[in-house]
Each structure stands twice: as structure tokens, then as C-alpha cells.
Structure 1
């Protein structure tokens, strides 16, 4: 430990005298002892003398960059919780410092409550560290529950989860559908100082746009038609814990603006309310899209992207995880067999070889569905190729067979020569036609959110209207 987290003073390094007075007064009113410095040199000298466990560090100092000061502090005392203070125009620099080891950052101007919440979060993080572990993460040789798998790709993910869990940094999880993004968010939460608080997950793509604001921020009775009682939103429900926003790129642009304000102020305004409410929440978000591409296309706010994309974690697809697929399958098939009252104990050697070669486009979610099908329809004791669904076996070309040329392929004949955008439209329109125009049913079949299809239909209609206008 770097000091007594309950007694050692807060070190404030801020070069503007008026702000020094404001921050120092707020901290002292809350009962903290404060040591205040106006330059990097004085701040480092005070740090050496006091070894404060919590440091409030201005990003722009007259004699040295805040990033360099932070590197020096963490080199001497790696467990220090450094809260970066930055102006709105320097958020990118603050994000860089978070990635380099800062605990949290505050954007000027902020009020006393936001300042004190940041300090309390840092104190809590320090008090929850194992005494024997110091500032070091747990050994990376073990999987991180609830994940299963020992591959190097996943070990890198575990290391990143353990590292980011110690801070308040916003985590942005990316990966294909079915790779376990919610499991990753839960793992970050459980490894953090907020583990005893609530973990609230919200799928932004599964909620109609007109109801999403209420689901996130809550509403008051009578604030809109159908609001028959007050509702606590996900942000308030996660107070003291973690809010996980899945499919964040599906969020409406207007709501993105309100989410950005929430991140900057830590306050929520329920629909119909006149006064904001303070909440203490850590944000983790996820998407199976390319968020930068969404920014480029104007569907995701650039300032929100940079505010959320502090620590990115990318989950590898199952096909890139080596023998993890068999380790996961072994655990799942035994668990499912107990639920069904069957006698499965594992996979046959032929199935193990097959699983290593399959592409698994649906990743772990697809593997779960395949094994559930096997366990329900068979007794055991080993999963054999004959038990597997026929469509799974069709995913791997037969040994010695040459791939069918696209122009002769029975499924691709009508698609050859078309652009990817044209193929996407054909597939969506075909799914809609087969489901009588039902967008939700087509979305379920295509494994996308209904809002994705609605957005594409709207874009196609606008493009066609624009083309008609030109002609």
C-alpha cells in the first residue's frame, strides 16, 4: 500500500489560484486533509513527502505536462489513484492518460458533488485492493470467471479486464455477435471496487427508440401517455455500481446527446422531471459494429465516441481461440446433461477435431445452441458427429472437395457480381417478404436489431426519393 487511504492527505496539483481555492474548500468541507501545489515540481516534491494515495492532477501545468507527472508518480507508487482534471477541449489527452493508468478524469467545469464522488470512488478502489497483492493484478494463468478458455487471445483479454477494473475508466467492448460482451462487462464489474453494487444491463437495440430514454433515465407519472407510475431508469438502478449499455451504436442521436451530458455531470433527468438527480455509476458499453465507421457515417456522435472509447476491449471470435472451443463445449455439455437428466461427459475425438475447424459465425452463442440441441435429443455419453445438426456439418467443406465457384454455387448464383450493399438489401427484403413484412420477425431471423432494419429501410426510401427528384 502507498499510504493509509483513510488518513493520508489528498494531493491537489492545480495552477489556477481561484480553482485551487474552490477545490480545496470543497474537499476540506467534506473532511479531507488537502495538500495544494501549483506546479509539477512542487507537486512531485509533495508526493515524495506525503505519498498521497489520491492525487488530483491538472492536465496543463506551467512547467510540465500532466502526463509526464503521472508517469513519474505511478513509477514510484503504482497503486496511486490519479484523477485528471481537464478542460473540455483536452478530453483526448485525458483519455490518453486513462489508458496510461489514471483512475478517472473530470471535465471543467464540475461541481462539488462530482469532485467528491470522484475522490470517494478512488478511496473505495484503494480500500478494496487485496493487501498482499498491492497494485498488481492476479496471475493471468487462470481464466477469469465467468469466461472459460486458456488461449493467448483470451489471456490478453483477462489481463486488460484486471487492469481496467481498478479504475473508473469507461470501457468500450467490441466483438462479433455471440462472443460474450455482457460476460466481459460483468467480469469488469466483479473485479472492481463496485462489485458489491448493482450490475444493470440494458440492450439499446432491443428497445423502441421512443421508450429508450425512459428506460435509461426513468420517468415520472403522467409525463407521457402510458406513464401510469414513476419509473426508475437503468442509470438510477445502477447507482453505486455499473451500467452496461449493449448495442450502444443503436442509440438514437438525440439520446446520445443526453448520455454525453450524463457522463459529464453524473446527473440524470427523468422524463417529466424538473430537477436533475446525482448518481454514481460506472459506464461500460458494447457493440458488434465498427464504432468509428458509425461516427464517419454520422450515426454516432464523435464527442460521445471519444468519451466512451477510453479503454477498448476487443473479444476475439471463437474460431480464433484455438482449443478454447472444446474447453467451453466440455463444460457446457456436462452442465446441460445435468439439467436434462442425461449422461453426457464430453466430446468424442472426432467432434473435438471438427469443432477446431468450424468457422462458428455465431461464436459461443452458436456453440451453446448446437450443444443444447445435441443434449436434448440424445442420451450420451459422448457427443459424436452423428448427433450434430446437419446444417453445422455443412459449414465445413468435405475433405478433398474443391470450393464451388461462386457463379455455379447454388446459393450464390443470383448474387455474383453484386455489391455487398446490394446483397444486404436483397437479404433483408427477402426476409421481410417471407415474414409478411414483419420487421421484428425478420430481425430475429437475421440476428440484428429491429432498429437496424428500420434505419436501412428509411435510408433506402430517402435515396429512392432523392433519385426521383433528380430525374
Structure 2
């Protein structure tokens, strides 16, 4: 069985014939195998070449193979380490495992057994690296509750922190499902109102005839059914933040009253004789084009300009590149915890399917897909068949083929191989929206190679 990306293995064995056999067998799995016959050679290669896994005999001509493991540990290198020996005892095995070795095998070796051990340890190491990357990437973002390391999310977090310093109203634009409320909550947490209340309200979920009472409150007996006084959302949010989601659904008469509250900082409960002051910061969100609504007469122009003093745009998931996989892992972990499952991971094929899909429902749709995957996945790897059918059926359009017109030109004018490579890589990068991970998969190379190509050229456009 071959692996998609070759791993670098270090084999330290002083038996030349056994070393040659193991190198040949491990190479069949697509690995690149470095060989050494002594502790000195092995330690040098382990330090200089940074292998993905080490296999070492215990008894070597110039020392103990475990000393190489201890050197790696002292240098802070966490590398899967397999010990092999011709003199295996229980005590030796215990000592090796206590020293930090991942496995202990005795001679004569079963090559198939060794290959299986290598495969499992490399898979576990890859999973650990994914977890470490997931935690490091999400650590800063988690302070705001906004995960992702794409340029679009970096820009949003930077703008968000600047906006949070102000006390002016903020208009948050974004498609449905892009987590606009999370952005609003992050603004509140970063602001000097963080100790005050955060009151969210969906304007589309309140009947028009009840909106005024809901927002401003009412006095006892103000209308039929008002058996007692009630404090409205504005007074409830005083000293903090009021988040008006889907503000484009607010009726025009209430828009006029909202504008007056923003100007006067006072509200008048239904049935009351006097106004009362409120200290509220307004954050509003919408998935519609409010300027277009203004042109249709569905939204007040003066209220729009009052709200758009500060404006943030939440990017759709399809513009966030590798954030798709990062968020998928996050939601998968949450779902696994709810289902009392162990750690689940995405197969390479599943990751590709998710990266290929445009997610019209954005983050909300991805979260739902991962909930389904955690429910239908019986093992510890989520495969494409565990995803919703609409996601599985989506196929990424093939990149445009390299221009074939040079066949009609004189041979002297034909492009060089380097030019064709540059042109094709550029077409692939454009087709996948500059997503380097997906581009590397299509090109059949690892990301390090792609980064090296990009750095060596003046772009691939």
C-alpha cells in the first residue's frame, strides 16, 4: 500500500543485510528511508534530517539505541520511536516504553508486523499534529469566538477590535449562516460595555403589532392583555449592547422610532406619559442589501446612514479557504462530545469533498453536516458517505486545460516546460480560489513543494 505523501524514516541497525531488507520493504510503502549503523551516525541524522519516525536497534557498536531517543527528547523533538532487539526481555521492553519509546519489537522481525506498526504510529503522529495545529490556530481566535486563520478572518478580527473601541452603532453584513451574532458578541466582549448585558433579538421573529411593546416596554393597562408593566428590550440592555438581528425586517413605523431613540437616547414605553433615558449601544445585522431596500422604500435612508457609521462584513465560508477543514474539525469535536464518542477525524477524501463544496448555508450548514457525520460514523474516521448527499454530489469543476494552440505555431515559438508548469499551476490556483491545500492535492504534490514553486516564481497568474 502506498501513502499519499512520503514520510522520512530513520533506520539505525548495524546488521547490514537486515538493514537493507528493511529499507527495501519500508520503501514499498512510499517512505524515504535513511540508514545508519551506529549511535553517532544515527544521532547526527536524527538531528539534521528531522525524520518522521525512528526505528533503532538497542545494541549498537558504540552504545545504546535508547540514547538517541533521549537526545531527541532533550531537544524537544516528539518523534515516534520503535525499538528492535535480538535480546528481548520483559524488563527491556518496560525500560524502553518508560523511556518514551512507542513500541518494542524483538528479532527475528516480522516485516509485515513492522510495516503495520510504522503505519499506525505515523497515522497517530499525523493526528497529533492536526490537533496541535487546530489548537494553536484557534487559540487567539477563540478569544473572540471567531475561528479561522484565513486572510478574510484575520481582516475581520482586526477590524472588529478597532470597532469595539467605539461606542457608535455598527452594521454587520453577511449571508445567512455566517455567524453574525458571534461577531456581535465578540464586539460586546471587546468593548468597554463588556460588564453590561448583551441582549439579542431577531427582528423577523417578533409580530409587527408587538414590536413597539417588545422594544420599549409598556405600562399596566396600556392595551388589552397588559395586566402588568413590562420592561422593554432597550431598558433591559441599558449599560450594555442591544443586538438587532435581521434589522431589514423591521417595519417602517418602528424604524422611525428606533432612529429617534438613537438620536435622543430616550424611550417611551407604550402607555407611559414620560420618556426615560437609556444607555445602549446598537449592533444591527442583516443578510440583505439595505441600500437596495432603501431604494425600494422598504428601509429608511436616514436610519441606514445612522447605522452604517461603522460597518463590518462577515465573509462567506466559500471565501475562507482552509478554514472549512478547521471549522469542520471543531464542529466534529463538539458533536463527538455530545454523542460521547472518542476523537473523530476527517479522511483525506472527506476533506476534499468539503473543500469542493460552496456551502450556500455557510457555517451553519457545515455545523449541521458535522453533526450528521458524527451520528452516522461508526469508526473514528469520517468518510464521504457520512456527509449529506447534497455535499457528496458536488463536484469541483475541472481546471481549464493548458492552452493547446501552440500546435499551430512554429516549434521555435512553443513554450518551455517551465512556462507550461507556471501557466497550469496558475490556472489551478485560480480554479480553487487560491486555496493552496486544494491546489497541492490537484497537482499531486505536497504543500511544501507548492510553496517552494510559488516562492521561486513571480506568481502563477
Matched residues in 2 for 1:186 and 1:231: separation? 25
Distance 2:382 2:276 in 1: 54
**Within 2, Cα distance between the matches of 1:142 and 1:339?**
25
* 1:427-450 Cα deviation digits (max 9, x unpaired): xxxxxxxxxxxxxxxxxxxxxxxx
Alignment partner, residue 446 of structure 1: none
Structure 1's 311 and 398: CA in aligned 2 closer, same or farther, altered over 3 A?
closer
Q: Which residue of 2 aligns with 1:166?
A: 165
Secondary structure of the residue that 2:204 maps to in structure 1?
coil
User: For 1:146 and 1:380, how far apart are their aligned partners in 2?
Assistant: 30
1:318 corresponds to: 317
Q: Which residue of 2 aligns with 1:359?
A: 358
Does the aligned pair in 2 maintain the 1:344–1:379 contact within 8 Å?
no
Alignment-derived partner of residue 387 in structure 2: 388
Q: SS of the counterpart of 1:341?
A: coil
Structure 1 residues 268 and 399, CA gap change in structure 2 (3 angstroms): same
Q: CA deviation at 1:346?
A: 2.1
Q: Any gaps of 5 or more consecutive residues in structure 1?
A: 1-139, 401-471
> Could you tell me how far apart the structure 2 residues matched to 1:334 and 1:371 are?
9
Q: What does residue range 88-107 of structure 1 map to in structure 2 within 5 Å?
A: none
Q: 1:273 — aligned with what?
A: 272
Structure 1 CA distance, aligned partners of 2:350 and 2:378? 16
SS in 2 for 1:142: helix
Give TM-score scaled by structure 1 length. Answer: 0.54
Contact 1:343 1:380 in 2 (8 A): no
**CA deviations over 1:190-248 (Å, ceiling 9, x no partner):** 00000010000010011111111111111112211222221211111111000000000
Instruction: Give the C-alpha shift of residue 395 in structure 1.
Output: 3.4
Query: Corresponding residue for 1:103?
Result: none
Cα deviation for residue 160 of structure 1 reads 0.7
Q: CA deviation at 1:371?
A: 0.9
**Higher mean displacement: 172-181 or 327-336:** 327-336
- Any stretches of 5+ residues in structure 2 without a counterpart? 1-137, 400-461
Q: Give the superposition deviation at 1:141.
A: 9.8
Q: Secondary structure of the residue that 1:245 maps to in structure 2?
A: strand
SS at match of 2:140: coil
Does residue 248 in structure 1 map to residue 237 in structure 2? no
Is 1:328 aligned with 2:327? Answer: yes
1:146 maps to which residue? 145
Q: CA deviation at 1:398?
A: 7.9
Within the alignment, does 1:339 sit opposite 2:343 as a pair? no
Contact 1:205 1:247 in 2 (8 A): yes
The separation in 2 between residues aligned to 1:227 and 1:395, in whole angstroms, is 53
Distance, in Å, in 1 between the alignment partners of 2:275 and 2:249 is 25
CA distance in 1, matches of 2:307, 2:190: 20
The 5-angstrom pairing of residues 374-453 of structure 1 reads: 374-396=373-395
Q: 1:186 and 2:185 equivalent?
A: yes
- Asked if residue 287 in structure 1 is aligned to residue 286 in structure 2, the reply is yes
Per-residue CA distance 1:343-380 (angstroms, 9 max, x = gap): 24221111111111111000000011111112123334
Matched residue, 1:207: 206
In the alignment, the residues of structure 2 paired with residue 314 and residue 218 of structure 1 have an alpha-carbon distance, to the nearest angstrom, of 32
Alpha-carbon shift at residue 174 of structure 1 (Å): 0.5
Offset from partner CA, 1:95-125 (integer Å, 9 cap, x none): xxxxxxxxxxxxxxxxxxxxxxxxxxxxxxx
- Structure ID, larger Rg: 2
How many Å apart are 1:399 and its aligned residue? Answer: 6.5
Normalising by the residue count of structure 2, what TM-score does the alignment of the two structures yield?
0.55
Tell me the distance in 2 between the aligned counterparts of 1:221 and 1:346: 57
What is the total number of aligned residue pairs between the two structures? 262
**Aligned-partner Cα distance in 2 for 1:217–1:382:** 52
With over 3 angstroms needed to count, the CA separation of the structure-2 counterparts of 1:380 and 1:189, relative to structure 1, is farther
Offset of residue 389 of structure 1: 1.5
Q: What is the SS of the residue equivalent to 2:200? A: strand
Structure 1 vs Structure 2 CA RMSD: 1.9
Q: Which whole-Å CA distance do the structure 2 matches of 1:398 and 1:170 have between them?
A: 42
Between stretches 314-323 and 372-381, larger displacement belongs to: 372-381
